[in-house]
Structure 1
Amino acid sequence: MSTNGRSEQGRSSSHFAWFATCPKGIEALLAHELDTLGATAVRETVAGVHFEGPLAAGYRACLWSRLANRVLLPLATVDAGDADQLYAGLKSLDWREWLEVRQTFAIDFSGQNRAIRNTQFGAQRSKDAVVDWFQERLGRRPSVEKRDPDLRFNIRLAKDRAMVALDMVGGSLHRRGYRSEAGAAPLKENLAAAILLRADWPGMAARGGALIDPMCGSGTLLLEGAMMAADIAPALERRRFGFEAWRGHNAPQWQAILSDARGRAERGRARQLPEIRGYDADGRVVRRAQENIARLGLERSVRVVRKSLAELRRPTHLPIPEGLIVCNPPYGERLGEKESLRYLYRELGEAMKREFGEWQAAIFTSDIELGRAIGLRSHRQYKLFNGALPSSLLLFELRDNRLTDQAPASAGAAQPENASGSEPAAPVALTEGATMFANRLRKNRRRLNAWVKREGIECYRLYDADMPEYAVAVDLYGSRVHVAEYRAPAGVDPDAASRRLDEVLSALPEALGVASADIACKVRQRQRGSEQYTRQGSRGEYLSVREGQVKLLVNLHDYLDTGLFLDHRPLRQRIAAEARGRDFLNLFCYTGAATVHAAVGGARSTTSVDLSNTYLGWLRKNLAHNGLAENRNHIVRSDCLAWLQQGGDDFDLIMLDPPSFSNSRAVKDSFDVQRDHDTLVRAAMSRLRPGGQLYFSNNRRGFRLTPELAEEFDCQDITRETLDPDFVRNPKIHVCFSLRHRGGGPQ
């Protein structure tokens, strides 16, 4: 370093000392890259790399570095113990070596010490020193231009010294020129390049491997991968470089380097590149990605289509044994978002293993806990920074990599006796009543067995107060059992009711071959208002079960209900079959099981409305668990009637499943389905398009539809059609109606 006021390297130098900045965590990658570009004396430091070489080395770093933020040419070092010393040191330099008075300039100032604690103040004093130097010597001063100056100087303050450097690029190298600022994604281009280099994408591409990003956003990872495969210099599309206005610029040498890069890019675009594909559920960002691809002229090689994670499949024409799944999944800052994203990450892990079991994967996340929720073993991890945000890059060998149970796994009907891993209890002597109850369970199971196997049913009702003295409902959720005891009438001896419940619980393990730990038991009673949302426990255990083509999360312990109304199974499957290409509305959506069925069934959009934050959070988990994005599956917290009366979009398919009664504090008036359903159904029908279908269901015993509704609309009672064999003994579990507009639709 120089003493105060001495220039470190001048225009006549044939060998220069350089400094390239980069995001923290990729210094070693940048050092290796610069070495391959002909740099010498390469030395890493925090967030940057020092190197040496001729002017051509600096040019090549500016044009070819995929990792650097800036390439700086150090000019001088001055004392800067305080602002006055900084000013004097900068004013002692001969600024005519680098800057002409007719040129514009800008100062980028970083760092602080005990006297200079504000970077804006440091930049201001530095600017004053430069313009005062010219004013005193030439009687004129250069202009400051912050946005697009001819020359940009970088001043880095460390303790009591300040290094002055020329920014050879004139801005950050991560801006390649193919991405509009309006569509900028959180992942910077040079960080995307670092992710691909850590995952050895260039090696895979050379061997003919493929690159797929299942949540590609604006396509940054795909385009950086394509530029590597096509040998396209990352800065080739930059409009200008800072050194072009520098007095030491060697234009012929630069043009030769630039011409060589253009030739390599032209030959690379003409080659057959590896398969590079991207998917995203958001049509807007897909269009943005396609625009970015077009700017680089890579439409023939990089393809992006709208597709959710739930639809991720290995392309059938890809017999390629090697490839890379690379992804920067979303992360949530709020607790509820993080809880639902755990299931999205798990779905990502399942899809990677299922569809790309022989490939490699690279997942970049700012939340290592979400990364672990993928459920696969990462053989290598790197600490990186996305701006100031600490992040992790997880690398996976998908071959011989087994999914773990870090996130809820599906409790398939064909699994062993229990999903929790507990051993079934040893046989115990049953009382006469318990034996009778166990025999009824076995009988019911034999009766339903053929239907269960034929339809692939995983969750169903096995017993529903078949014997009045044993007033419980027994539901199977895969290999788990949920028992709901109906509250005994006032005249029933509490001791007798308690004894019978004990007999139920003692009979279940022997009759069903389950462990006592896999049985959840609750006392049911009428719930009013917010009581229906009140937690009964705090285990936070969500079990993943399958229904048709979807996976749903149930909680057997913490709430009165499990999150899945089993009696609505046929209606949900009907909605799934009718949803393709239609806009679906789910009113009083609960945990959104019907919404997930509609979305997986191909609905153009879904909208789910409920007043409960608890249930809407549950819906978010269910969507994420099926790899479904919220941009096409809208979630609305509102009173349903008030929301309908506000007006808005219309729908082709509507499910209306209100509670029998509600007096929630969030709503001014109480709701009684018998009393108020006429107004509610009419409001819902006002949002139904001509030719559309509304399903209205409720579980009010003795419910009667008003004659006026039956007269005004094409109304059919389809209750029997919406009861599966597990509920035929209790046909009053719900009523269900199909409603359509008569004639031309709503008036």
Structure 2
Amino acid sequence: MSKSVFFVSCPKGVEYLLADELGTLGLGLVRNAPAGAWVEGTLEAGYRACLWSRLANRVILHIDEVAATSADELYDGVVHLDWQQHIPVDGSFRVNFIGENEEIRNTQFGAQRVKDGIVDRFTMGGGKRPGVEAKTPDVTVSARLHRGKLALGIDISGHSLHQRGYRTEQGLAPLKENLAAALLLRAGWPEIAAAGGDFVDPMCGSGTLVIEAAMMALDIAPGRRQERFGFEKWLGHEPETWLSLRQEAERRAYEGKQGRIPKFSGFDQDGRVITTARNNAQRAGLDGLLEFQVQPIEKLSLGEDRAETGLVLVNPPYGERLSDRQALAGLYESLGDAVKAAASGWRLGVFTGAPEFGKSIGLRSFKQYKLFNGKLPAQLLLFAIDEASVRTPREPGLPGEVLPRIANEERAAMLRNRLKKNMKTIGQWARKQNIGCYRLYDADMPEYALAIDMYEGRVHVQEYVAPKSIDERSARERLAEALAVIPEALGIERDQMVCKQRQRQAGVSQYEKQDASGEFFQVQEHGVTLKVNLKDYLDTGLFLDHRPVRHWIQQNAQGKRFLNLFCYTGAATVHAVAGGASRSLSLDLSNTYVGWAQDNLRLNAADPRKHKVEQTDCLAWLAAKPRPDQVYDLIFMDPPTFSNSARMAGVLDVQKDHGKLIRQAMARLSSDGLLIFSNNFRRFKLDENLAKEFEVEEVSASTLDKDFQRNARIHRCWHIRQSA
């Protein structure tokens, strides 16, 4: 059979794994490419890649390459190709266009010019032309523009091959199927399965890793249940070749279940996602072969019949804000404790966008792979679960002792000058606005990854994670310089400065209490008094970035019934009371924050009969049927990015759960009321369906004062009203 050239795309970071896989499918490597590989082989091998590749996104049969330095040159190249041998004249096609240059600046324009060339080729001499169909075309034409050349081909996959067909419920599994397969391969799962090992994902979500592990171990083709591929109506299609491959896949799927079947287990403390995982397994044809159970990580048990060897592979969540990310250190520590107790002799793989938490697991990683979860850099950390790999903890307190010291005077002078400049600009603005608590510095210089906040003459310093390019010793050296420079530049005594260092924040205890100084003091904000503590907690009791939101609430609360969900220390409620709210209810799960909120209301002479604070699980409260008296005119909801408190009814993931939370909150909003929804997840995307149900307006830009305009992604905020 004659050979063709194919371009096979894949997730970024998986290119070399893909090239190896395609080699086993009969496709020889021509050259590697970013997020893909150019390969050569028969059409049968191309079909095999569509059916069997666990890593590919798309398989493109290369047709030709034409010059495309301009739109006209691109069109001339396209119109002279023989498209009649690829696209049925009575059929339909679409164009997927990737790339840009100085003249072709968007993909829509590039796709239109390719489409024009194809159509005009058909209509030369008065011939008929095929239709253009955006959703379900007979043939998909791929056009990839790079360095003035346009590579043209037929997408014989027809859709992204990561879509196996078993995941139909949206928003429940951010890990794509082919990335999950890449993690399994990097973790050595095929070899572990062949040696008689079992598989466990203790935070399985909707079960993607468990399902992919089973399909891999049982020799089930990932494309086996696909109803349609892109080559089936292409004019070059070879139906007999394809039928033979489908029959082979069915035979292998049957034979794969005849020997020993490993035990595949998925656990999660959220019962909702366990139900989804079971549904996904059923759609994948694995019903009865996989175990999914509600089980928190702290109670991980693999049963008495567990294999001597196996793989625990997990994709834990991680946060964005300093407090969110720090709150997860305890989760990683719990994971380490659980696997050491339940899976000794096994291998652990942890795929994370926050690899600094790997140390909290308490094991030494023997291998690290750099990958991407979408556009987000991430790492797969591999650990042997045995005594030899246990990481010996350092003596408490020793690693965090950083004494003020200047190692590089020139570098320190740059920080000193920046702080003095910021005091003249931001400090002067704050004084004119009568603002005593504000952010002075927010990692303005990459050498000093700090957030420096002023609290009416006192200074609160938070250390961000140092960039990967800076080793730990250099980061500590620069922190020591900052601690020496800050008091001098700001004209304060050292005992007026508090510094919280990330490397001292590991473990469960950091989630709330950091110290026991009891040093609370009062600050003023737009006429109200608030209690803060710079030492004892990861956050101070006052989120400075929400200052404009609180002020807006104060200006618009007159006569309104106010609800504050996930109220933290109740600062927004205090502003609502100061603005004349008729009554209010503030809810939070933490007893510490409930007490703090009550203190803040007392400081401002709020009537406790009208303005109540209650300790409760906001998720459970929202899920309950609203009572007639639970109607509010103004609701503020600023949920954490992630929370898995044992006292909660479930896990809170703001990206996954925000649609439900907003709809539940809107059920308690009066007809002319307003919900203010905010969160700090930097890659947050609002559920598009909400705009169809309610009046939704993003107001993020107007909720950032001068001190936070350098970091426009510190939070996002929406005003949501009932539809007219």
Q: Do the aligned partners of 2:568 and 2:594 also contact (CA within 8 Å) in 1? A: no
The residue type equivalent to 1:670 in the other structure is A
Partner of 1:726: none
Aligned to 1:120: 108
Aligned equivalents of 2:55, 2:208: Cα separation in 1 = 14
1:624-643 to structure 2, matched below 5 A, reads 635-637=566-568, 639=570
CA 1:371–1:147 in 2, change beyond 3 Å: closer, same or farther?
farther
**8 A contact 2:319–2:325 mirrored in 1:** yes
Cα distance in 2, alignment partners of residues 68 and 684 from structure 1: 49
1:69 aligns with 2:57: yes
Question: Does 1:555 find its partner at 2:514?
Answer: yes
- Map 1:358-437 onto structure 2 (within 5 A): 358-399=345-386, 400-405=388-393, 419-420=396-397
SS at match of 1:182: coil
The alpha carbon displacement at 1:335 in A equals 2.5
Q: 2:181 aligns to what?
A: 193
- Work out the CA distance in 2 between the residues paired with 1:656 and 1:123: 55
Partner residue, 1:538: 499
1:138-287 to structure 2, matched below 5 A, reads 138-180=126-168, 182-183=170-171, 185-269=173-257, 271-287=259-275
- AA partner of residue 283 (structure 1): G
In the alignment, is the contact (CA less than 8 A) between 2:19 and 2:29 conserved in 1? no
Question: What corresponds to 1:323 in structure 2?
Answer: 310
The code of the aligned residue for 1:24 comes to: K
The alpha-carbon deviation at position 346 of structure 1 amounts to: 2.5
3-state SS of paired residue (2:6): strand
Q: Secondary structure at the residue paired with 2:153?
A: strand
Instruction: Give the whole-Å Cα distance in 1 for the aligned partners of 2:609 and 2:169.
Output: 52
Relative to 1, partners in 2 of residues 1:315 and 1:677: Cα closer, same or farther, differing over 3 Å?
same
Task: Flag the 1:184–1:78 CA change in 2: closer, same or farther, 3 A.
Answer: farther
The residue type paired with residue 321 of structure 1 is E
Q: CA deviation at 1:555?
A: 2.3
Instruction: Tell me the distance in 1 between the aligned counterparts of 2:614 and 2:598.
Output: 18
CA distance in 1, matches of 2:162, 2:49: 13
Q: CA deviation at 1:390?
A: 1.7
CA distance in 1, matches of 2:600, 2:588: 28
CA contact (8 A) 2:198 2:306 kept: no
Change in Cα spacing, 1:556 to 1:38, as seen in structure 2 (3 Å) is: same
Asked if 1:47 corresponds to 2:35, the answer is: yes
From 323, 329, 335, the counterpart of 1:336: 323
CA distance, structure 1, for counterparts of residue 253 and residue 14 of structure 2? 25
Judging changes above 3 Å, is the alpha-carbon distance between structure 1 residues 84 and 545 closer, same or farther for their aligned structure 2 residues? closer
1:111 and 2:78 aligned: no
Change (3 A) 1:654 1:75: closer
Provide the C-alpha distance between the structure 2 equivalents of 1:660 and 1:181, rounded to a whole number of angstroms: 39
SS across alignment from 1:242: coil
Q: Which runs of 5+ in 2 are unaligned?
A: 400-494, 521-530, 545-564, 621-724
Aligned-pair distance for 1:181? 5.1
Aligned to 2:44: 56
Match of 1:604 in 2: none
Deviations 1:250-302 (A, max 9, x none): 11111011011012213334554211111112222111111001112213221
- CA displacement at 1:539 relative to structure 2: 4.1
Pick from 655, 658, 670 the counterpart of residue 605 of structure 2.
Answer: 670
Q: Over residues 695-714 of structure 1, what are the superposed CA-to-partner deviations in whole Å (9 max), with x where a residue is unaligned?
A: xxxxxxxxxxxxxxxxxxxx
Task: Give yes or no for the alignment of 1:357 onto 2:316.
Answer: no
Q: Distance in 2 between matches of 1:683 and 1:27?
A: 53
After superposition, residues 571-582 of structure 1 pair within 5 angstroms as: none
SS at match of 1:325: strand
SS in 2 for 1:190: helix
Q: Aligned ranges for residues 451-470 of structure 1 at < 5 Å?
A: none
- Counterpart CA distance in 2 for 1:660 and 1:191 is 44
Cα distance, 1:350 vs structure 2: 2.6
Q: Distance in 1 between matches of 2:28 and 2:43?
A: 12
Say which SS state the counterpart of residue 266 (structure 1) adopts.
helix
Q: Which residue identity does 1:212 align to in structure 2?
A: V
Secondary structure of the residue aligned to 2:293 is: strand
User: Once the 2 structures are TM-superposed, how far is the Cα of residue 44 of structure 1 from its aligned partner?
Assistant: 2.6
Deviation, 1:19, is 2.0
Counterparts in 2 of 1:453-532, with a 5 A limit? none
Change (3 A) 1:217 1:544: closer
User: Which shows bigger deviation, 358-367 or 84-93?
Assistant: 358-367
Q: Is the 8 A contact 1:193 1:221 kept in 2?
A: yes
Residue 79 of structure 1 pairs with residue 10 of structure 2: no
Contact 1:35–1:42 under 8 Å retained in 2: no
* Aligned partner of residue 153 in structure 1, secondary structure: strand
Q: CA deviation at 1:165?
A: 0.7
RMSD: 4.0
- Paired residue secondary structure (2:357): helix
The letter for the 1-side match of 2:498 is G
Q: Distance in 2 between matches of 1:74 and 1:347?
A: 50
Larger deviation, residues 172-181 vs 365-374: 365-374
Distance 1:682 1:152, change over 3 A: closer
What is the deviation of 1:130?
A: 0.9
> For each residue in 1:422-450, what CA deviation from the matched residue of structure 2 results, as whole angstroms up to 9, or x when unmatched?
9xxxxxxxxxxxxxxxxxxxxxxxxxxxx
Residue 466 of structure 1 is matched in structure 2 by: none
Partner Cα distance (1:42, 1:250) in 2: 24
- Asked if the contact 2:568/2:593 (under 8 Å) is kept, the reply is no
**Percent identity at matched positions?**
41
Alpha carbons of 1:559 and 1:321: their partners in 2 closer, same or farther (altered >3 Å)?
A: farther
Asked if the contact 2:61/2:153 (under 8 Å) is kept, the reply is: yes
Deviations 1:436-471 (A, max 9, x none): xxxxxxxxxxxxxxxxxxxxxxxxxxxxxxxxxxxx
Q: Secondary structure at the match of 2:328?
A: helix
- What are the within-5 Å matches in structure 2 for residues 545-694 of structure 1? 554-556=513-515, 559-560=518-519, 635-637=566-568, 639=570, 658=595, 662-664=599-601, 669-670=604-605
Q: How does 1:17-36 map to 2 (within 5 A)?
A: 17-36=5-24
Preserved CA contact (<8 Å) 2:200 2:265: yes
Given that 1:72 and 1:166 are in contact with CA atoms closer than 8 Å, whether structure 2 keeps it comes out as yes
CA distance change for structure 1 residues 644 and 556 in 2, over 3 Å: closer, same or farther? farther
Contact 2:95 2:142 in 1 (8 A): yes
Shift in Å, 1:29: 1.2
Q: Aligned to 1:67, what secondary structure does the other structure show?
A: coil
| Superimposed CA distance per residue, residues 466-488 of structure 1 (whole angstroms, 9 cap, x where no aligned partner) | xxxxxxxxxxxxxxxxxxxxxxx
Residue 292 in structure 1 maps to residue 280 in structure 2? yes
Distance of 2:613 and 2:19 partners within structure 1: 69
* Residues 666-699 of structure 1, C-alpha deviations (whole Å, 9 max, x = no match): x78426xxxx7788899899x9x9xxxxxxxxxx
Superposition deviation, residue 310 in structure 1: 2.2
Question: What SS class does the counterpart of residue 362 from structure 1 fall into?
Answer: strand
**How far apart are residue 149 of structure 1 and its match?**
0.7
Distance 1:317 1:15 in 2: 53
Does the C-alpha gap of structure 1 residues 544 and 147 become closer, same or farther in structure 2, counting only changes over 3 Å?
Answer: closer
CA contact (8 A) 2:360 2:507 kept: no
Alpha-carbon distance change, 327 to 660 in structure 1, aligned in 2, over 3 angstroms: closer
TM-superposed deviation, 1:82: 0.4
Q: How does 1:432-443 map to 2 (within 5 A)?
A: none
Query: Which entry has the higher C-alpha Rg, 1 or 2?
Result: 1
The amino acid of 2:76's aligned partner reads A
**TM-superposed deviation, 1:347:** 2.3
Give structure 1 stretches of 5+ with no counterpart.
1-12, 407-417, 423-533, 562-587, 594-609, 615-633, 690-747
